[in-house]
Amino acid sequence: MRPVIEYISYRECIRDFYEEQKARKALSWASFAESAGIKSPVFLQYVCEGKKNLGERTAPQVAQAMGLAGFESTFFCKLVALDNAKSESDKKEILESIAELARVHKVKPITAEEYQFFKSWKNSLIRELAPCMDGANPKEISKATRYRVKTGEVREILEFLQEAGYLTQDAQGNYRQVDRSLRMGKADGNSARKTVQKAIAHDLQVQMAELATDALKNDPAQGRNITGLTLGITREAYDQIVEELAECRRRIVAIATESARTEEVYRLNMQLFPLSDMHKEGFIQDPPSSKGVKDE
């Protein structure tokens, strides 16, 4: 069994513990459950299979039966709480507590790695901005953000980006990106990682949408490009549009990373969301023949 902080799924953690102990001590699901104070001999087996869930009361019992103590037990219980959380705000709160746990105990849980970076738009901005300002100090970088990011924040973000391996700094004080482009890692069917990434992406997208509204209100039109379409579509068309947007993002990343030089840092939002609820109301209606109305 790996260290518990290397797990994203508490179910995988339980399964690995069981398999290891079974090989060593001929552990059974029944004896494992009994040691955790659980009456059903197959309950933990069903948990690992995704048929049952651990709850707030049983999580510490299972952690104790697995020999977890201190922050490892706390971490395991937070993984259970994250899996059980219903709202995005609850998931964010739990991820914040995991990140704080990692900071205090100087550990790097996988669940916190992406969250630490993607939880704030400011991290992405500084990661892009610092390398194109040779020799710049936090005060100068803050000024380049139009003071959206204060000097103290810039200093903290730069320290984090270096510690986490997103930026390096040479002897002359110049910052360089470790990777030219950056994206969340693929979940590859891992439901626990999907839960984490969904919570991260939701909050970041809200932040970016608010920044887009601010740009629409306050930035001159010649320095931005904000357009939109209102469309009547089918589910099949929706899926096709999503694929087209993914391909478009890929091409845009290729264009942006072709040159090592940066003159400004931009954010590109792609948003496709419903304005109607006809399926929920039981209406069946063919898409209109119009190709949509463009909002300039």
Tokens matching residue 261: 């030089």
In this predicted structure, the answer to whether residue 107 has a pLDDT above a threshold of 80 is no
pLDDT of residue 111: 63
Size of the chain in residues: 296
% of the chain with per-residue pLDDT over 90: 36
13: how many CB neighbours lie within 10 A of its CB? 27
Q: How far is CA 172 from CA 28, 169, 175, 176, in A?
A: 60, 8, 9, 11
Tokens matching residue 2: 């790996």
pLDDT in tens, 262-288: 889 999 998 888 888 776 666 655 544
Q: How far apart are CA 12 and CA 262, in angstroms?
A: 43
Residue whose structure tokens are 């997103």: 166
**Beta-sheet strands, E only, within the chain:** 167-169, 175-177, 228-230, 293-295
Q: Which of 52-66, 79-93, 166-180 has the highest mean pLDDT?
A: 52-66
273: how many CB neighbours lie within 10 A of its CB? 4
Average pLDDT over the chain reads: 84
In this predicted structure, the answer to whether residue 289 has a pLDDT above a threshold of 50 is no
pLDDT in tens, 133-192: 888 899 999 999 976 899 999 999 999 899 888 899 998 889 998 877 666 655 555 666
pLDDT of residue 119: 81
Q: Average pLDDT in the 237-253 region?
A: 90
Residue 258's pLDDT band (cuts 50, 70, 90): confident
Collapsing DSSP states into helix, strand and coil, what is residue 92?
Answer: helix
In this predicted structure, the answer to whether residue 294 has a pLDDT above a threshold of 60 is no
Q: How far apart are CA 29 and CA 15, in angstroms?
A: 10
Q: How far apart are CA 220 and CA 89, in angstroms?
A: 34
**Taking the model in full, what pTM does it have?**
0.58
**Domains of the chain, CATH where assigned:** 4-107 (1.10.260), 120-177 (1.10.10), 227-296 (no CATH)
Interacting residues of 3 by C-beta distance below 8 A, sequence separation 6+: 72
